[in-house]
Structure 1
């Protein structure tokens, strides 16, 4: 069910939610958090679909705030989606025009679930220091996506510069399977120190940069990053861990599959699919405490003492 509220107010949206609960039995019981999504008008549906899918694992209230600050007249249009149109959640879409878009905190404060955690998500270009933004101050966790920015590497540097505990980025979340496979490979004999690391990926891939920084931090070695134009257009292509007995090589051979080569062992093909918005969002919503590892990687790989040595 979708209820349209054109030219409305935040107070009227809240009253309509109460009426829906009383008349149709759509209740907030069982909702574990409020997810606030910042978007632009006309770009909401993909992120709503991802949030609806994630809500089947994390029932929540979803508030989508999409703006058109350049509109000449202030106006707030709203939608409330419940039932089959909202997955296991309630979806409130607020489209703020003109000066109405200048007070995002005021628009959403009265719509937050009481006594429930708040997560804010910027699926596109994100502001500097999201923790200090009006919606960032409301949230325990703040999610960005450097990979969706026009300049992903610059976006990652800005995220690192403004990092506060509670921040995370989907470029880091997309590394979970890569990190697990590399850790599993190193958890087998021979237990020799790694002497050098190579990471290869697309020039615009922030995940490649984060993986290199993580390996440099945890293995305490210099990491060579290759971003040659001949590599696939997106994502990580290859990781090579050098040690005395030979190299461990993890390389993407085709979509969704990587090959694992280790000395004196047969080659293995492993499933390692690229992760979509739904998978990344669901993973990040499983933990609401600060991701200290992400903070340490940002400080190590993007600070003045970075151990990552990019090459072309």
Structure 2
């Protein structure tokens, strides 16, 4: 069931939600949280599809906030709110409200969202694109217990990741961190199988991929060993190699689907390590609403510190030794003069 509202208000949207639930025969509200998605018109469809898929595991009221750019000063002066209310089969297992904000009202999105939040239910804000520099101090982010960003969608992912470390607040998380959950689980399980001491590690993956950086920082932070990063053609993360006292431990995934775990003294094993879609990542983040201390510790380890340790432990190129001086040659002996012929 869909209801379109033009030039509306938050109170009219709430009324449309109540009338819609009665029309489809589900007056009881069974949502467990409110998910606020901040995106643009181009990425709204994909973000909403991922949220609808995740709602099968976490029934929620989904509010999609789309700030429409004003093309002229006259448009900026005219504030307008359009909404599309979806219930029933059109909203999967929850409720969906698509909000399009025009003019000055786009600068005060929190005043539109606040009356639509479910009472006594946690709030999660997800910036699908164009996340603020400081999510916790953003007007919408201040309404939420959990704030989800995605540095992979930024124009400069590595610089964005550094900014996340500078402004981290408990409750912040990033989908670049969520993407490496299977890798972290597999590496931790591999280390549980052998009694050894890890001395160094290497993480290989695409250039400018924040997940590669986060996995390297997590290993360096937890194992207290130098971690080197290397570049590959991808897709995403491709391999992790750890040198230990019992031999190398290698987790290699060249095709983005199936990985091979190699441990010294044990047969190689094929493990499923498929790249997950956005719906699975969002569903994982909604399972826990408490601060992620492991993410905070890895993030605060810092890219600069990782670079410094990599430089210290980088293999030094052999310097060519100065050629040894040639031994001095002994002066050549003069040939004896011929005796003068006898007279």
Q: TM-score, normalised by structure 2?
A: 0.86
Instruction: Name the structure 2 match of 1:123.
Output: 128
Change in CA separation of 1:172 and 1:11 when aligned onto 2, cut-off 3 Å: same
Identify unmatched segments of 5+ residues in structure 1. none
Are 2:273 and 1:269 equivalent residues in the alignment? no
**What is the alpha-carbon distance in structure 2 between the residues aligned to residue 185 and residue 175 of structure 1?**
15
Aligned with residue 153 of structure 1, among 158, 161, 168: 158
* Matched residue, 1:67: 67
Q: Partner of 1:40 in structure 2?
A: 40
Partners of 1:136 and 1:62 in 2: how far apart?
15
Tell me the alpha carbon deviations over residues 45-95 of structure 1, each in whole angstroms, 9 at most, x when there is no partner.
111111011101001000000012434232211101111111111000000
Asked whether 1:141 is paired with 2:135, we answer: no
Match of 2:223 among 219, 224, 229: 219
Contact 1:77/1:96 (<8 A) preserved? yes
Whether the aligned pair in 1 keeps the contact of 2:162 and 2:302 (CA below 8 Å) is no
| Alpha-carbon distance, 1:308 to partner | 5.6
Q: Distance in 1 between matches of 2:262 and 2:144?
A: 43
1:84 and 2:89 correspond: yes
Hey, what does 2:14 align to over in structure 1?
14
Change (3 A) 1:28 1:208: farther
Aligned-residue offset at 1:233: 4.0
CA RMSD, Structure 1 to Structure 2 (Å): 1.7
Separation in structure 1 between the aligned mates of residue 179 and residue 100 of structure 2, nearest angstrom? 30
Q: Which residue of 2 aligns with 1:295?
A: 296
The answer (yes or no) to whether the contact 2:165–2:300 under 8 Å persists in 1 is yes
CA shift in 2, pair 1:16/1:9, >3 Å:
same
Distance 1:304 1:238 in 2: 22
Q: 2:254 is paired with a residue of what secondary structure?
A: strand
User: Quick check: 2:61–2:94 contact (8 Å CA) kept in 1?
Assistant: yes
Greater Cα shift, 18-27 or 64-73? 18-27
Match of 2:210 in 1: 206
The CA distance in 2 between the partners of 1:289 and 1:306, in whole Å, is: 31
Instruction: Say if 1:306 and 1:233 are closer, same or farther in 2 by CA, change over 3 A.
Output: closer
2:25 matched residue in structure 1: 25
Closer, same or farther in 2 for the Cα pair 1:132/1:253, shift >3 Å? same
- Mapped to 2, the partners of 1:80 and 1:49 lie a distance apart of 15
CA contact (8 A) 1:119 1:143 kept: yes
Q: Distance in 2 between matches of 1:292 and 1:28?
A: 36
Seen in structure 2, the aligned counterparts of structure 1 residues 146 and 160 have a Cα distance that, compared at 3 Å, is: same
1:15: how far off?
1.8
Query: Normalised by the size of structure 1, how large is the TM-score?
Result: 0.94
Mapped partners of 1:80, 1:308: distance in 2: 53
